Structures are given as C-alpha cells and as structure tokens.
C-alpha cells in the first residue's frame, strides 16, 4: 500500500495514509450563517484515527480546522465573525470577505508524498478581488513506527486590488495579545488545558502559554488527551518564514480553547503595495500520542524547516 493516497472530488480532497483519512481539504465549503467562506482542512487526524482539529465550535463558529485567513485587510475581515474596533471591542460589520478556490494547478496523488497546488482569489464583501493567492499543501514524513506525519503549507499572496493593502490583526488595531492572523489551527476542544512546549524554553517540561504568546519561538507543540478514543496526541507547529518585515510571532492558547497560529502580523501590520507579494511557509507535525518533552525536541530537531 502506498504511504499516502489522494482522493479528489468536486468539493474536497481526502488524504489517506495506510487506510486512515489523515486530512480532508474542503475547497468548496457550504454557505454558513457566519459567512466568510474559505477552504479549510478538517478533520485532521493522527495515525490512530483520532481527530485533532475542531470544526465550527460554539464559541467561534467561523473557526474551521486549519485555515489560511486574515483578520484585518484594510478594513476587510477574511477571518469571519465580528471585527475588532479600538475602543468598542468586537463589532459585527458588513465586511466579511471570502476566499474562493479557483483551480488546482498540479497534484501528486500517491507515494511518499501527496501535494496540492492551488490558485485562489480573496474577494471583499462588495465583490472586489483584492488578493490572488497561490497555495501548496504537501503531506509527507510518514513514520508508522513513531506514529507521525507532516504537513507543509506554503502560500503567496499578491495584491491585485490596485491600491496598497494593510494586513494586520486585532492587536495592530489596539487589542493586546490578539495577534491571530495568517495560518491558524483550532485544535480539538478536548485538548483544552493541554501541555504546551516551546523552543524558547529548552529545559522546561512545560511552558506557560501566556509567556509564549507573541514570542518568536522556532516551534511550539501542544499535547492533549482525546475524547471518545483512548490516549492522546501531539501537534508540533513550526513558525516557518515570512517575506514581510515583522518577525513571525505566536498566537497560542490552551485555555479557554486550544489554538496554534504563527502570525506574520501579530503586533505590526504589513503594507502590501499593488502587485507586491507576501510569501509564508509553515510546517505541522501530527503525532498519535503525547510525546515526552525530550521526544518533542527530538522530533522538532529532525523536522525543522
């Protein structure tokens, strides 16, 4: 049996590893009441079949697994939900745009790797095309002995609006420690309160999520116990790289819900001139048990970008 296989339909791509669907990429999402439709990866599963991602949780219905998204783009909200306004808090506004899947330009559908190359368009609430995106998902690094696999996500965002665009976050708008934007993974609710580890604390057995919020750590790992099935898992996320001026910084929580988001505009906005591009590269490693701190650091060293 091939290490990975790809099954592509008109609405979704299913990636299987030796009989387990480890990822489903929904590129033609159903219309939802909260708007902001965009492609997403859910479920994400470890090799034992346990789901590690969350979909439309009650507190934030627009959170859907692993997504490429952005909270503040010159007044437009490509994340979904209300928009943070300084002095007012989160305010519902008629500004939630969509990210439209245009086409797959290339796929590799079996073997040691599966990849999806895609073009997308970011469209404002008013119907204007502002960003042309090229995105690549690469599924690789399958290791049955250690129960893990890896996903690389690379994206390039080109400004086609004809005007400069400011790409920011709630923190750039005035809310402290709310720098979420870019690529974000909402983890399974059962992992709430799970253990966090960070490359910034090389000797620690666990890290305080509040202490690593906004940090420039190379990687962060979050481990938790599953509901429904026995055992737990670990997700190791690498900050990766950005061609924007600000350093990559982490939006990370284990309470009141678990989320990992390497943010390219945590506290400083990025100005994208007309026809300019912003390129981001990230890696996620999914493990089928709770790794010890030493194991986590060993996997992080091996899979480093």
At 223 the pLDDT is: 98
Which element (helix H / strand E) includes 12?
strand 12-17
Residue at 150 is within a domain: yes
Could you tell me the residue range of the domain that residue 45 belongs to?
29-302
Residue at 164 is within a domain: yes
Residue at 209 is within a domain: yes
Q: 282 in helix, strand or coil? A: strand
Count of domains for the chain:
1
Residue at 206 is within a domain: yes
Residue at 22 is within a domain: no
Dist. CA 83–CA 71, nearest whole Å: 7
At 65 the pLDDT is: 97
Residue at 99 is within a domain: yes
User: b/e string for 170-192 if b means 16 or more Cβ within 10 A?
Assistant: bbbbeeeebbbbbbbbbbbebbe
At 2 the pLDDT is: 62
At 7 the pLDDT is: 95
The count of other CB atoms within 10 Å of the CB of residue 15 is: 26
Please give the chain's pLDDT, 305 residues, in tens: 568 999 999 999 999 998 999 999 999 998 776 778 999 999 999 999 999 999 999 999 999 999 999 999 999 999 999 999 999 999 999 999 999 999 999 998 878 999 999 999 999 999 999 999 999 999 999 999 999 999 999 999 999 999 999 999 999 999 999 999 999 999 999 999 999 999 988 888 998 999 999 999 999 999 999 999 899 999 999 999 999 999 999 999 999 999 999 999 999 999 999 999 999 999 999 999 999 999 999 999 999 99
Dist. CA 263–CA 252, nearest whole Å: 10
Residue at 78 is within a domain: yes
Residue at 19 is within a domain: no
């Amino acid at each position: 049996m091939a290490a990975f296989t790809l099954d592509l339909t008109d609405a979704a791509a299913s990636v299987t590893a030796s009989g387990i669907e480890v990822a489903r990429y929904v590129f033609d999402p159903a219309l939802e009441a909260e708007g902001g439709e965009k492609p997403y990866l859910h479920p994400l599963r470890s090799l034992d079949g346990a789901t590690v991602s969350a979909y439309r949780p009650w507190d934030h219905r627009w959170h859907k697994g692993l997504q490429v998204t952005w909270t503040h783009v010159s007044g437009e909200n490509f994340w979904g939900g209300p928009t943070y306004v300084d002095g007012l808090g989160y305010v519902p506004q008629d500004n939630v745009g969509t990210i439209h899947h245009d086409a797959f330009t290339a796929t590799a559908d079996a073997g040691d790797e599966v990849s999806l190359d895609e073009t997308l368009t970011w469209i404002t609430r008013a119907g204007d095309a502002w960003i042309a995106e090229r995105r690549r998902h690469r599924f690789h690094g399958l290791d049955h002995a250690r129960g893990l696999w890896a996903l690389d996500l690379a994206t390039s965002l080109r400004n086609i609006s004809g005007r400069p665009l400011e790409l920011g976050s709630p923190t750039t708008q005035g809310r402290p420690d709310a720098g979420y934007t870019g690529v974000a993974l909402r983890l399974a609710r059962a992992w709430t309160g799970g253990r966090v580890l960070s490359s910034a604390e090389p000797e620690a057995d666990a890290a305080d999520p509040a202490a690593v919020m906004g940090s420039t750590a190379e990687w962060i790992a979050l481990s938790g116990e599953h509901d429904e099935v026995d055992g737990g898992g670990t997700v190791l996320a690498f900050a990766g790289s950005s061609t924007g001026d600000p350093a990559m910084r982490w939006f990370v929580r284990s309470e009141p819900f678990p989320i990992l988001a390497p943010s390219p505009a945590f506290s400083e906005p990025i100005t994208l001139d007309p026809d300019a591009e912003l390129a981001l590269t990230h890696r996620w490693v999914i493990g089928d048990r709770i790794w010890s701190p030493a194991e986590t650091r060993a996997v992080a060293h091996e899979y480093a970008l």
